[in-house]
Structure 1
Amino acid sequence: MVGYHPAGRDTALYTAVQDVKAGHWMQMRQVLARTGTWREWTARTQVLGVAAARRNVVELWLREEPQSVAARVMYARVTTERALDAHRSRQPAKDPRRVQQLDELADRARQACRRADGLSPGDPVAPICLLALAETDTAGRFPEHRVAPPPPDVLLPHGPWGLLEAAHRREGFSREAWHRMLRVLQVGPGSVYLSRRAVAMDFARWSASKAPLGSPLLLLPLYAHVEEYRARRDRGDVMLSLWWINESIASAIAKAFEDWFGRCNPAAASSADLNYLAHALTAGGFLKETAAVFHAIGDYATPAPWQYVTHDPDQWREEFEATRSACLRRFKPPPLVGRCP
């Protein structure tokens, strides 16, 4: 039975998320105390931050343990999620009082991030959250959101490049940091010559060109292509049937399969990344390769991208299962061999 949970295969994180939803914080505290790498720390705090954003669980934790660094980091997470959620759900905000309220939420999150950063200066979460908050700066209040790109990549737009670099110094090629940057560029002002999606696509391709073998950033162009596909479908583009077999897109799909999936441990990979790759391989006609990815996914399907490519987003599970069944009827998946840590 296909199901979805943001924790994916991380059973300890699953327990903590369920505890947070019940209004408790002890399991969150325990799972974070047992987290051993920045990569895992970033991923787990992100999932927990989303789960806790509409509850006062982190505030209760801080009340009990005001000196806890982990609780301060989680407070930065939840205040960031609250600011982003308010900004996205109420755009465009034309009422000056509402604009002020949104700015105050974002400023509160920035203060929480800076306090967490002061307590744990090597932690990548604070700069990642500050990078994410650039999305809310629609008036251009903060100079750090309008920094020139690193030379010689002058064709990329100005943006929060310093915050991306700060996150990169702490967690090299951080998956979340690059995805946050992609989102900022997708919703940003773009330029006179390029649409926001074109700017985001250039960034995704640039990122994939810099990423090492086995890095999930090699899939970033696939995320950008899905967004472009959605926009074209909404406009009624009649040529969408040919979208995924375009030569440049097919090349990006093949590179993602060979240089990421072929070199990583699928059991430790992001469920979203596996699902995006499975969709792209199927749409691009790489059915034999798709079988191995579907085997790695198991029943850990994710709503995106399946909800974006079906006529009824609520039927995304049916879309996933139909695509998987059609593929596995024709091809038996090979044994999985992961080579990245």
Structure 2
Amino acid sequence: MLRRRPSPLIRPELDDHILHRTLLELRPAQQLHGLGAGRSSPLWEPVAELLRATGRDWDRRAHRVSVLAQGLPAVVSERWAADRPDDGDALVLRAFVRSARAPAEGDSAVRQAEQTCLRAAAASPEDPTPWLALLSLMHACAVPVRDAVPVWTQAVERAPWHRAAYHLLLRYLSPRGHGAVPDMMDFAWQAAFRAPHGSPIALLPVAARVELVAHRQDQTGLAALGEGGHWNEPRAVQEIDTALSRWFHTAAAPHAEAVIDLNVLAFALIRAHRPAEAGLVFQRMGRHMTRHPWALLPEPERTFRYWRDQLTGRRRK
């Protein structure tokens, strides 16, 4: 008898179930009460509780703030900041919201967003998260890399080996951003080999190679088909081996965006024709799929599901 396998689970909150519940809690209020009208408590209260509970886990804080900024109406952060003008959590959420919207709204909005980021940083001097909001704003506004590096430095001085900070700068250095291939690859390699054992930064060269493939695909307009020569070069083999030995096979605790890194690693192993190792990665990430990097291939969800089912014994019976 045929058994329907679970479809891939694609959501910005990844496997953060607490964040998922918070978003679900707020969505009915938005639909039924006009963004919280008639609630006995402020609409932003669940968000405040979530970020307060996150504490100084800077890695998870960056992930949660970023997803909340994307998933909630801007009025939530504005009301929270208006009700609690000195609250560092309220200010950093507003910084992310304004940084995401400002580039499309013109120079005045960009300047205002920049000031919001700096105010959030001043309110929480130990927090790297406002500097990530500012770095994202600079990337969206095509500020030269040399001017962005000091902002990145502010973040990593507060949280060494902060995954989101390294991936933001990698995106900046990408030829699809504002950099060039040699700079991107050199940054990724140096970071990976200096990072502590168990750090997800070990995967950075693999993420950079995905960026390289995406860049060349953008140039040619062709899907990433064929033998996947990018992944069989000796240096690519070393990059994957480093990610496996220095991160995947360690006893490091899962980080907030581990699902993203697992998808990148599974993709690379499939393209490098290493199915046995890819199967171990698929087992760990389960149903959780991210659109990047699978969107580089035709029918990404079908491709993800095919390899997941083939390599984890989940074929229909």
TM-score (norm 1): 0.77
**5 Å matches for 1:43-192?**
43-52=63-72, 54-83=73-102, 86=104, 101-138=105-142, 158-186=146-174, 187=176, 189-190=178-179
3-state SS of paired residue (1:299):
coil
Distance 1:199-1:164 versus aligned 2 partners, 3 A rule: same
Q: Which structure 2 residue ranges, 5 or more long, are not aligned?
A: 1-5, 36-42
Q: Could you tell me which of 198, 215, 219 is aligned with 1:231?
A: 215
Q: Which has the higher contact order (CA 8 A, sep 6+)?
A: 2
3-state SS of paired residue (1:278):
helix
Task: Give me the CA root mean square deviation.
Answer: 2.3
**5 Å matches for 1:245-260?**
245-260=232-247
Q: Work out whether residues 294 and 301 of structure 2, in 8 Å CA contact, stay in contact via their aligned partners in 1.
A: yes
* Higher deviation after alignment, 293-302 or 21-30: 21-30
Q: Work out whether residues 61 and 71 of structure 1, in 8 Å CA contact, stay in contact via their aligned partners in 2.
A: yes
Question: 1:114-156 deviations in whole A, cap 9, x for unaligned?
Answer: 1111111111112222222221444x5xxxx56xxxxxxxxxx
3-state SS of paired residue (2:228):
helix
Q: Which structure 1 residue ranges, 5 or more long, are not aligned?
A: 87-100, 147-157, 191-195, 331-341
How far off its partner does 1:258 sit?
Answer: 1.2
Aligned to 1:4: 10
How far off its partner does 1:280 sit?
Answer: 0.8
3-state SS of paired residue (1:34):
helix
CA distance in 1 between partners of 2:226 and 2:304 (Å): 23
Determine what percentage of the aligned residue pairs are the same residue. 30
Q: Work out whether residues 15 and 27 of structure 1, in 8 Å CA contact, stay in contact via their aligned partners in 2.
A: no
Question: 1:258-282 deviations in whole A, cap 9, x for unaligned?
Answer: 1111112348652111111111112
> May I ask how many residue pairs the two structures share in their alignment?
289
Question: 1:150-174 deviations in whole A, cap 9, x for unaligned?
Answer: xxxxxxxx35222222111111111
How far off its partner does 1:181 sit?
Answer: 0.9
Q: Work out whether residues 8 and 300 of structure 1, in 8 Å CA contact, stay in contact via their aligned partners in 2.
A: yes
